[in-house]
Structure 1
């Protein structure tokens, strides 16, 4: 058993109230670590430290190039400690070590890329419609950012949030999920080693009602980044509106993955299986709604079900494991509840449909890969399940596929499998989704913007657009010779 304190002002410290939370290993079901349980007092302390670092400390006085070098150094340290950070996340959230080592290694790219953007933030000289004045703009950081990360991909989302915020010159208070805080706390120690001034990045752990709410309400927090459920995101946006705080919300998804009759069916079957089973379906962009054209339905489903039966369950620390447990016990129960609901609504079970009781699963929270044939109006086809559960829907033609695909309140991502270039472009234009993948799925890069339409959120992560979320524009006017008359002189 190891204790993981919070990280505030460059120091590790226990919660002010001295309380701790248990962290359970999703594979063994046993408590393996204790994490500091903060509250509003800890949140306020972290925000004040972050504000001081932003307004008074050496962070504010660094040149953009110097700030970029710090981010680049942090990326190098991530490369050095990739294995250690990956193992922490595997134990805490059940992610596969085979996936996490490459993913953590790639996270270094976030800080290398955004480190390179630090001295590329430029204003503009405005060509005016009047003489005697010079006008230019400055892009300035908004201030303290509260970053609230989810339990399913804590390190990935942390980097997606804080790299552009630091690039912009903001300071950050991180609040990881109470279910998976350890990898973030391990990561936080690298900031001091990289040379970041104390208070630039802080981590306060605890429950949402005790820490998250306090961060959102704090008057010195000027922007909120959140990844999680649309219900929580809607509440945060309402709270932030009271103080006109910026919000970047990456929320739920119910993404359509559309297979046309001219597609490479083998590639599409591989892509569709990966789209739902990767991370055991615990991904906001999971291809949970598979739309298959009627003319190839039976042939395609034979291929898909064959691939979906192949994953090897077991210990996430074993490099040969290809399907891990659900990350939390409440999520495990929730997914099993959705499977029962699908049966009750008349969905046709094609594969799985139960908890996994194989010996290699031990006491972990495993669920068999599950495939239902459904109608689009069923709950299983409309609500985010967040597990290895696929809803399959037949469609007739392109117009029918588009109508089904867009008939959902989410709009995070979509996939299209076709050899018809014109059709692919039409679908890319008309699908209501922030990311559209053609003959591929789940391609995400720190260089390319990512975010949702409709109830899937607002704002963008990754790419130059992400930096803009944490900047505000100032217009500066200079008189270069225009007369300044007395407005009260006799006319």
Structure 2
């Protein structure tokens, strides 16, 4: 891959910086390779290939991936079901030993995996390291659960559908939790960022994971989603990320006994009301809204403020956003990298056009020496769009923030409750009575007060107990 991009100079920064940059350079020197489907431990090639490029620089090509041949998802489920009989019968201590070794492998290659996540998804180096740490946490927690003893029986074959919003922690975290519980999995990772899943697959195999327990299929056109999700031999489905493909899974007809774990991104709205320190409140909102270019499963897409506080909040927010460094995410100090693909950039551009009357900042392409071969943009902030506009009610998984202005607290809570929630809703306030009312009246699965970072993002439900009957 190094023929199209200059190798990064290793800085004199922290030891963590040096390890990350050395790993990045190693990856950039790698040759392109072919990535087959893996079913029952066997490589499966259909002969219909598609390339996957880095969003950081589209001239970096990881290699070619295979379109699924007809019937491959059914075959993968059959193989996984056959493997389930032996895998589920193993003593939990045997499964724990394999994942203990896998965890050791992951920790040993932490910086290489993080560098691969950055190149695959456009996450900044800090975001990528957090992504690896989240996966480590999921597997470590699962091993502890097995060590302490678990109640329940393995349920069978799980299908895991994930998107680029978490290219590592969500797909592998859910797969690991399911497998530690004694289940087998068929996973369809993001077509934009499948490489980290393949890398961890190899580490699991080296740790001794038997053939057929973990099966991977890539699909550029999402043509296999319906076939796999409607397979009657599945025990459950995980949907993690954003987009129509995952949202549609929730409405598909399926067996009533089929388990469903939903980690689909929503707006994750935030109310700012008498925060005490408005600059700090604006900083927290900006960090939530524009982490991973607004593509994280916990990124905030809507913030609500009162008429009385709108000017001060907007002044502080705009001052913070203007200072964001939008650049190559592998560079130290970058605040925001690119959106994942040309298609996603086109959605961003269309959204700007559709809501231009309410745009107060951003929405432009960023092109310089390091960003010209990717889709880098300035975050877009909209103010005053009517309540019934899509931008206020439907998530877009983009670096976009809609600011809604209301009369008072009651109106704010009503607006919050009209949002497409996703994983969370939150309030930033110094008033305990306001926080109490928000907690009582807002209808969200997870609620935070003053600190958006406490919400677990990717793989928030990746626990062994969630995959047991």
Band of TM-score, shorter chain: 0.7 to 0.9
Which whole-Å CA distance do the structure 2 matches of 1:189 and 1:364 have between them?
29
Which whole-Å CA distance do the structure 1 matches of 2:443 and 2:59 have between them?
42
Which of 381, 384, 388 pairs up with 2:392? 381
Cα shift at 1:66: 2.5
Number of the residue aligned with 1:30: 59
* Aligned residue runs from structure 1 range 44-443, under 5 A: 44-55=74-85, 57=86, 59-120=87-148, 122-123=150-151, 139-207=152-220, 209-229=222-242, 231-233=244-246, 235-239=248-252, 241-242=254-255, 244-343=257-356, 346-347=357-358, 349-374=359-384, 375-443=386-454
Is the Cα–Cα contact under 8 Å of residues 75 and 109 in structure 1 kept in the other structure? no
Greater strand proportion: 1
Cα shift at 1:327: 0.4
- Corresponding residue SS for 1:241: coil
Which whole-Å CA distance do the structure 1 matches of 2:453 and 2:161 have between them?
23
Deviations 1:119-157 (A, max 9, x none): 55555xxxxxxxxxxxxxxx2111010111102212021
Is the Cα–Cα contact under 8 Å of residues 68 and 117 in structure 1 kept in the other structure? no
Alpha-carbon distance change, 315 to 409 in structure 1, aligned in 2, over 3 angstroms: closer
Deviations 1:363-394 (A, max 9, x none): 21011121111232222212212211111112
- Corresponding residue SS for 2:262: strand
Cα shift at 1:289: 0.8
Which whole-Å CA distance do the structure 2 matches of 1:232 and 1:174 have between them?
14
* Aligned residue runs from structure 1 range 463-478, under 5 A: 466-472=463-469
Is the Cα–Cα contact under 8 Å of residues 50 and 201 in structure 1 kept in the other structure? yes
CA RMSD of aligned residues (A): 2.3
Is the Cα–Cα contact under 8 Å of residues 157 and 184 in structure 2 kept in the other structure? yes
Alpha-carbon distance change, 262 to 247 in structure 1, aligned in 2, over 3 angstroms: closer
Which whole-Å CA distance do the structure 1 matches of 2:318 and 2:253 have between them?
45
Which whole-Å CA distance do the structure 1 matches of 2:243 and 2:48 have between them?
30
Which whole-Å CA distance do the structure 1 matches of 2:229 and 2:426 have between them?
34
Which whole-Å CA distance do the structure 1 matches of 2:422 and 2:68 have between them?
34
Is the Cα–Cα contact under 8 Å of residues 145 and 173 in structure 1 kept in the other structure? yes
Pair 1:8 & 2:39 matched: yes
Deviations 1:445-491 (A, max 9, x none): 49x994xxxxxxxxxx14xxx4443222xxxxxxxxxxxxxxxxxxx
- Corresponding residue SS for 2:186: strand
Cα shift at 1:222: 1.8
Which whole-Å CA distance do the structure 2 matches of 1:53 and 1:83 have between them?
32
Alpha-carbon distance change, 289 to 118 in structure 1, aligned in 2, over 3 angstroms: same
Q: Which runs of 5+ in 1 are unaligned?
A: 124-138, 451-460, 473-491
Number of the residue aligned with 1:482: none
Which whole-Å CA distance do the structure 2 matches of 1:205 and 1:261 have between them?
48
- Corresponding residue SS for 1:317: coil
Cα shift at 1:231: 4.2
Which whole-Å CA distance do the structure 2 matches of 1:240 and 1:39 have between them?
24
Pair 1:19 & 2:32 matched: no
Which segment is superposed worse, 331-340 or 189-198?
Answer: 189-198
Deviations 1:100-134 (A, max 9, x none): 124213421111101111255555xxxxxxxxxxx
Is the Cα–Cα contact under 8 Å of residues 342 and 379 in structure 1 kept in the other structure? no
- Corresponding residue SS for 1:173: strand
Q: Which runs of 5+ in 2 are unaligned?
A: 1-31
Is the Cα–Cα contact under 8 Å of residues 105 and 203 in structure 2 kept in the other structure? yes
Cα shift at 1:297: 1.9
Is the Cα–Cα contact under 8 Å of residues 171 and 240 in structure 2 kept in the other structure? no
Which segment is superposed worse, 223-232 or 396-405?
Answer: 223-232
Cα shift at 1:416: 0.7
Number of the residue aligned with 1:483: none
TM value normalised by structure 1: 0.83
Alpha-carbon distance change, 34 to 233 in structure 1, aligned in 2, over 3 angstroms: closer
Is the Cα–Cα contact under 8 Å of residues 7 and 188 in structure 1 kept in the other structure? no
Is the Cα–Cα contact under 8 Å of residues 293 and 396 in structure 1 kept in the other structure? yes
Deviations 1:32-69 (A, max 9, x none): 021122234332332222111111x2x23321222223
Alpha-carbon distance change, 243 to 400 in structure 1, aligned in 2, over 3 angstroms: closer
Which whole-Å CA distance do the structure 2 matches of 1:250 and 1:208 have between them?
21
Alpha-carbon distance change, 208 to 469 in structure 1, aligned in 2, over 3 angstroms: farther
Cα shift at 1:89: 2.3
Is the Cα–Cα contact under 8 Å of residues 175 and 205 in structure 1 kept in the other structure? yes
Which whole-Å CA distance do the structure 1 matches of 2:150 and 2:55 have between them?
46
